[in-house]
Amino acid sequence: MSLRCKSLTATLFLIGALLSYGCDTNDTTVIGPSRIGTTAPFVNRSVQVRPSFTDPTAVPGAFCPAVQPFLAPFSLTFEGDGRSDLLLSRVHMQFTDRVGIAGESLTLDRLDLQRRFGSTALPVSGTRTLPFAFPFGCVGSPTGTLTVVVFTADSLRHENSNRVLIPIR
């Protein structure tokens, strides 16, 4: 084996070791993805989704496909960390029923969020709770999982996304 091949092998081994450590799910490690709790799942340290599960709410007079027959209510609560200026830039939601049939999806961009809530600025300190209700039910059964992806951006427009799953019972 040549010297070039040995150094390449050593470099790849080092990169692989570092990547596997970054994905460690051991609860005692500081580096790695955070787990989603069962009582109030965290999207990241500054965002909580509540409730941790929800029941479908029937929409009176609904008819598919114009008006979805169910709503899944939930809230995003943002807690300031005292140092970062963040904006809520997008929220993407998609329902998948319990047998795996992907149903409706909805993406709210910053303009949609501004129309609903006014400012999309998130608090540097304190909390802000934003209520959402996802319409669904024309495809599949009304029980399954709502996937919510929250996109935040700093003042330089560097975007971060986080995902949480909300069971719908």
CA distances from 49 to 22, 79, 165 (A): 25, 11, 9
Same domain flag for 28 and 41: no
Tell me how far apart the alpha carbons of residues 53 and 138 are, in angstroms, rounded to a whole number. Answer: 20
Instruction: Read off the CATH number of the domain in which 82 is found.
Output: 2.60.40.1470
Tell me how far apart the alpha carbons of residues 62 and 69 are, in angstroms, rounded to a whole number. Answer: 5
Tell me if the pTM is above 0.75. Answer: no
Number of separate domains in the chain: 2
Same domain flag for 103 and 154: yes
Same domain flag for 43 and 27: no
What pLDDT sits at residue 125? 86
* Cβ neighbours of residue 63 closer than 8 Å, sequence gap 6 or more: 69
Same domain flag for 45 and 93: yes
**Which is it for strands 86-97 and 144-154: parallel, antiparallel or unpaired?**
antiparallel
Same domain flag for 64 and 140: yes
- List the pLDDT tens digit at each of the 169 positions of the chain: 555 555 545 554 445 444 444 444 443 333 333 333 333 444 555 677 887 888 889 999 989 888 999 999 999 988 887 777 789 999 999 999 999 989 889 999 999 999 999 999 988 888 899 999 999 998 888 899 999 999 988 878 788 888 889 999 8
Give the domain extent around 23.
1-33
Same domain flag for 47 and 9: no
Same domain flag for 28 and 109: no
Same domain flag for 141 and 152: yes
